[in-house]
């Protein structure tokens, strides 16, 4: 059935070759889990082809305001060199002194949204300095992929996310890791049914048993969940195989692997 729709990996981190392994190491240490691949663009392409993944949404997170411009230009260049294989998201930083210019550059580079990672970027979603970012993304119609959930911190859990979604009802948000990494059940309970919120299932299968994962996805709605691998954390082939083993009907697979990502991130437009 795979030839009847495309398969999108909606959550991939990529880095310039020279720093890829180090950047992947840092994230692996933060989550105490390592990483299966190396974070290079070429490796992502190879691993995606091997898995039958047809398209990747790529991004990288700025840990300081100074990195914002260079990361966004790196993502745009990678998209341009990718012959249609990639859709790119930009990064922003809540401490930047020129947030509007940063957003305008993201738009002019042709990037399709913004990724933020509150724990790694050290901010809470509903602080005033972050609300400025959400207001700008709403104004410029940029969907946002947010890392969501971490029981060790109080940055991106539902108590921080819900006020933002309520304040910017026109903003499209994807909550990564089913809306709450490490707090899956609580997050799904609290967040299902929120109108402007979608989810991805990246970095979930390693921790959550398949039957529970399936139950959580059904609770959120198969029209609300996107497939993603969190490359380089996990290998596309094993993640895709695990997803397919959940045994959703083909119509749901089509939504999760293709339609929802196409709709949210405007893939192909
Ligand atoms: Zn991520």
**Residue 116 Cα to ligand 1 middle (Å):** 8
**Residue 197 Cα to ligand 1 middle (Å):** 16
pLDDT score, position 36: 87
Closest CA to 40 of 231, 234, 182, 229: 231
Per residue of the chain (269 residues), what is the pLDDT tens digit?
A: 445 788 999 999 999 999 898 888 888 787 777 788 889 999 999 999 999 999 999 999 999 999 999 999 999 999 999 999 999 999 999 999 999 999 999 999 999 999 999 999 999 999 999 999 999 999 999 999 999 999 999 999 999 999 999 999 999 999 999 999 999 999 999 999 999 999 999 999 999 999 999 999 999 999 999 999 999 999 999 999 999 999 999 999 999 999 999 999 999 86
**Residue 120 Cα to ligand 1 middle (Å):** 10
167-185 burial: b if 16+ Cβ within 10 Å, else e:
ebeebbbbbbbbbbbbbbe
pLDDT score, position 1: 47
**Residue 194 Cα to ligand 1 middle (Å):** 21
**Residue 92 Cα to ligand 1 middle (Å):** 14
**Residue 59 Cα to ligand 1 middle (Å):** 8
Six-digit token string for 158: 């539902």
CATH T-level assignment (fold) for domain 2-265: TIM Barrel (3.20.20)
**Residue 13 Cα to ligand 1 middle (Å):** 6
**Residue 206 Cα to ligand 1 middle (Å):** 15
Map out the domains of the chain as residue ranges.
2-265
DSSP letters spanning the chain: -GGGS--EEEEEE-B-HHHHHHHHHHHHHHTTS--SS--BHHHHHHHHHHHT--EEEEE---SSGGGHHHHHHHHHHHHHHTTTSEEE-EE--TT-S-HHHHHHHHHHTT---EEE-HHHHT--TTSHHHHHHHHHHHHTT--EEE----TT-SSSSHHHHHHHHHH-TT--EEETGGG-TT-HHHHHHHHTT-TTEEEE-TT-TTTS-HHHHHHHHHHH-TTSEE----BTSS-HHHHHHHHHHT---HHHHHIIIIIHHHHHHTTT-
Q: Which residue has the tokens 């119609």?
A: 141
**Residue 117 Cα to ligand 1 middle (Å):** 7
């Amino acid at each position: 059935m795979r030839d009847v729709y495309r398969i999108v990996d909606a959550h991939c981190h990529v880095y310039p070759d020279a720093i890829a392994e180090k950047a992947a190491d840092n994230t692996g240490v933060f989550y105490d889990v390592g990483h299966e691949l190396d974070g290079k663009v070429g490796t992502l392409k190879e691993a995606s082809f091997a898995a039958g993944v047809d398209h990747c949404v790529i991004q990288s997170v700025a840990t300081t305001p100074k990195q914002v411009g260079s990361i966004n230009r790196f993502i745009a260049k990678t998209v341009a060199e990718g012959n249609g294989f990639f859709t790119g998201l930009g990064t922003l930083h809540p401490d930047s002194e020129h947030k509007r210019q940063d957003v305008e550059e993201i738009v002019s580079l042709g990037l399709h949204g913004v990724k933020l990672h509150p724990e790694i970027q050290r901010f809470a979603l509903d602080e005033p300095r972050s609300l400025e970012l959400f207001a700008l993304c709403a104004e410029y119609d940029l969907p946002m992929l947010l890392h969501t959930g971490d029981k060790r911190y109080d940055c991106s859990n539902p108590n921080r996310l819900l006020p933002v979604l309520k304040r910017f009802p026109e903003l499209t948000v994807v909550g990564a890791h089913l809306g709450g990494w490490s707090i899956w059940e609580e997050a799904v309970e609290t967040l299902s049914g929120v109108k402007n919120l979608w989810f991805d299932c990246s970095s979930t299968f390693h921790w959550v048993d398949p039957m529970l994962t399936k139950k959580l996805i059904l609770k959120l709605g198969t029209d609300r969940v996107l497939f993603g691998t969190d490359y380089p954390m996990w290998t596309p082939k094993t993640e895709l195989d695990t997803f397919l083993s959940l045994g959703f009907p083909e119509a749901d697979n089509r939504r999760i692997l293709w339609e929802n990502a196409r709709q949210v991130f405007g893939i192909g437009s």
